[in-house]
């Protein structure tokens, strides 16, 4: 019988019903074993496969938090000592997701994002200061346009990873909160397509998203992505203006979305991840705007 070690938070474990599924896994020849990351893994093994969502601890380890560094070390050492053990996903692959600037640069390497491709990632730039003049220059040089979305540089590790802002004009650059990534906002008729990847299997669901926005003298808007992109979100930012309703909805090309997911899997060496994709309401191009490790997979598009 194959032994599958796993570590996920208690909250996620309950949502995925890991404990309830033990017998189902056993019938298929897999023994589920919950890993204690505070201890070395050698005495808890052997493991044929390790599945985990250690991203928050990896982010804290990168920030110098010693307990998290030890937890990550315990995982890494076991895989180093047992090269035949499959880790989903490898920590070095996850590192590219934790920093949004690195993440977007990695996306640019995907083979689907060639110059003449209908798939892109919005222009972006890393901002490390509140100096308006410096940021204005960086944004201009990177061809980032208003309105723009300011996202925390850290994509995991704290609740602030989901706290973002929309800046509509030059005056709003005073609201930049570094370190962050400023990314051009692309109008997409308030529709977001989430690709859930499990190995080479891709599943797509549709979610609410931000309504169409335009450069204006409007003051900066702050929002939590977890409030605007849930299945049942009813945030005011989800409501399309009357002038935009006639161009909605946008019907996705499911094959293209699946190709996007597989291209990202091949480029970033991931097996359990989610991709957020929007479709430009004007030119119908597909834009990859975020990648998440081990997302919540609770629904699928029929």
Annotated binding-site residue numbers: 12, 53, 100, 151, 162, 183-194, 209, 276, 290, 292, 296
39 contacts 74 by C-beta, under 8 angstroms: yes
How far does CA 193 lie from the centroid of its chain?
Answer: 12
Four-point Cα dihedral 19, 24, 29, 35, nearest 10: -10
8-state DSSP, 53:
-
Which residues carry a binding-site annotation for Mg(2+)? 276, 290, 292
Is the four-CA dihedral 147, 153, 155, 160 of positive or negative sign?
negative
How far does CA 168 lie from the centroid of its chain?
Answer: 24
The token pair at 259 is 């190709």
Which residues carry a binding-site annotation for ATP? 100, 151, 183-194, 209
The token pair at 288 is 């990859």
268-287 b/e (C-beta count within 10 Å ≥ 16 → b)? bebbbbbbbbbbbbeeeebb
Which residues carry a binding-site annotation for 1D-myo-inositol 1,3,4-trisphosphate? 12, 53, 162, 292, 296
3-state secondary structure of 154: strand
* Lookup result for tokens 């929002």: 223
Nearest to 204 by CA among 214, 217, 191, 213: 191
Q: Work out whether strand 86-88 and strand 49-52 pair parallel, antiparallel, or are unpaired.
A: parallel
How many CB atoms neighbour CB 118 within 10 A?
Answer: 15
Nearest to 41 by CA among 83, 75, 66, 91: 75
């Amino acid at each position: 019988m194959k032994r599958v070690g796993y570590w996920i938070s208690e909250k996620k474990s309950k949502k995925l019903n890991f404990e309830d599924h033990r017998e189902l896994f056993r019938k298929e020849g897999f023994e589920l074993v919950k890993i204690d990351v505070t201890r070395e893994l050698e005495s808890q093994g052997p493991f044929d496969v390790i599945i985990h969502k250690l991203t928050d601890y990896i982010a804290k380890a990168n920030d110098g938090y010693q307990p998290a560094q030890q937890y990550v070390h315990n995982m890494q050492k076991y895989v180093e000592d047992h090269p035949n053990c499959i880790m989903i996903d490898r920590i070095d692959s996850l590192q590219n997701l934790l920093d949004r600037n690195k993440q977007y640069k990695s996306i640019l390497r995907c083979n689907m994002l060639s110059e003449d491709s209908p798939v892109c990632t919005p222009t972006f730039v890393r901002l490390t200061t509140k100096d308006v003049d410096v940021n204005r220059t960086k944004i201009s040089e990177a061809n980032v346009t208003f309105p723009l979305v300011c996202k925390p540089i850290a994509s995991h590790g704290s609740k602030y990873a989901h706290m973002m802002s929309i800046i509509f004009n030059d005056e709003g650059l005073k609201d930049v909160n570094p370190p962050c990534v400023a990314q051009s906002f692309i109008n997409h008729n308030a529709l977001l397509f989430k690709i859930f990847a499990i190995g080479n299997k891709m599943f797509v669901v549709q979610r609410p998203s931000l309504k169409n926005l335009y450069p204006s003298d409007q003051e900066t808007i702050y929002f939590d992505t977890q409030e605007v992109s849930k299945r049942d979100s009813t945030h005011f930012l989800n409501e399309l203006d009357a002038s935009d309703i006639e161009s909605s909805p946008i019907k996705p090309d499911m094959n293209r979305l699946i190709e996007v997911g597989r291209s990202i899997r091949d480029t970033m060496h991931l097996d359990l991840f989610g991709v957020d994709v929007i479709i430009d309401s004007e030119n119908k191009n597909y834009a990859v705007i975020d990648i998440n490790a081990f997302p919540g997979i609770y629904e699928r598009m029929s």
